[in-house]
Amino acid sequence: MITIHEAKSKSELKEYIKFPFSLYKNNKNWVAPLISDELEGFDKEKNPAFETAEAYFYIAKKNNEIVGRITAIINWSEVNDQHKKKVRFGWFDVIDDVEVTKALLEKVYELGRKNNLEYVEGPIGFSNLDKVGVLTEGFDEIGNMITWYNNPYYATHFEQLGYVKEKEYIESKFPFENVKPEFFEKANDLVKRRYQLTALNFKTTKEVMPHIDKMFDLFNKSYASLSSFVAISDTQKEYFKKKYISFINPEYIKFVEDKDKNLVAFSIVMPSFTEALQKANGKLFPFGFIHLLKAKKQSKDVLFYLIGVAPEYQNKAVTAVIFKEYYETFKERGILNCFRTPELADNAASINLWKHFNTVVHKRRCTYTKLL
């Protein structure tokens, strides 16, 4: 018999968070999240996403053992401001038993119907800066800290239960040796002269901080046209600023300003923490933080996390300025491999940015949807 109960207490939430640790304990490609980081993200008092969202965390048990988990989410900004009558689900993990998946999703349906919503979509998080999508290709590729890893049967379960693909995402990679500066050096010089632009580079996190609010404002502006986008609030800006910026090497953050000091483009690249997180196995102490600090300083792999360009500067080759700056930084740091985090498969403009780097699509993932 399958039973479902809501995880409310800290101990129950720890059970919820730790389930994938047992599910994937023998899988070399799964990357453990930090347990403390997950707990903070699920804390209604700490995560400002709960100002405009509600979430419920469910655990499935069979014969007294945990066999699945799911989070049911309503992003009220999405429902009220964009008029999308959608209930979300995320942080979904399950054994290969479609009846367990069905039982977990019923809790999502209950939340949706209770609030007169019309359809369900997932896996997705609270906002656009959360993880997204179920992996459909690339199961033999190692995961990273900003994506979910899953077994191949997840997608099969959704399809058996009448779900259809909603949005497809691709992840690509390329060796740094593929980057040929001649593809962007001339454009870099031309664009900077024509539009009177200046590239900003940083050596310390303290230097970065005064610019971060502008970056989030531009993020909201540059991504607003995407159908799935929900703007980040001021309190969320502060939360992400404290939570993530210190994790990122300041030299991996690039900004472009116009002559009036207006931010017109930005990019954030992260060192790969994959191996460090696997060694940490969910714990910062006693040695996890040492592995993370070492990776921050020494990792030869990087992840292109975000790139944003002001709408009025899109299609004007401003990214040539960003690529030129990264080329110099990566050459100095001895970077070997570059990875792209999930981008919408139909976002031709974004995909076109990488056309000169001979990228290889090594993972695909998607969200699934169903009418209630």
* CATH architecture for the domain at 2-172: 3-Layer(aba) Sandwich (3.40)
Cα gap 356→198, rounded to integer Å: 24
What is the pLDDT at residue 125?
95
- Non-local (6+) Cβ contacts of 319 within 8 A are 184, 265, 267, 307, 309, 353
Shortest CA distance to 89 belongs to which of 137, 57, 124?
Answer: 124
Residue 370: its H or E element: strand 360-371
pLDDT at 227: 64
The torsion defined by the Cα of 275, 219, 210 and 45, in degrees rounded to 10, comes to -70
Whether residue 287 contacts residue 280, with contact meaning beta carbons closer than 8 Å, is answered with: yes
Tens-place pLDDT, residues 110-155: 999 999 999 999 999 998 789 999 999 999 999 999 999 999 999 9
Up-side HSE of residue 173: CA atoms within 13 Å toward CB? Answer: 16
Residue 227 to residue 315: CA distance in whole angstroms? 20
* Cα–Cα distance, 44 to 53 (Å, whole number): 10
For residue 34, the 8-state DSSP code is P
- The phi and psi torsions of 16 (rounded to 5 degrees) equal -60, -50
Q: Are 169 and 345 in contact (CB under 8 A)?
A: yes
Whether CATH 3.40.50.261 fits 175-363: no
Maximum Cα–Cα distance across the chain: 69
Report H helices in the chain: 10-23, 35-41, 76-81, 98-114, 153-160, 185-195, 205-223, 234-244, 274-280, 288-298, 319-333, 348-352
Domain with CATH 3.40.630.30 in the chain: 2-172, 175-363
In degrees and rounded to multiples of 5, residue 123 shows phi and psi of: -80, 130
**What is the per-residue pLDDT across 165-213, written as a single tens digit (0 to 9) for each?**
999 999 999 999 999 999 899 999 999 999 999 999 999 999 999 999 9
Check if the beta carbon of residue 4 is closer than 8 Å to that of residue 59: yes
Residues of the chain falling short of pLDDT 50: none
pLDDT of 228 reads 65
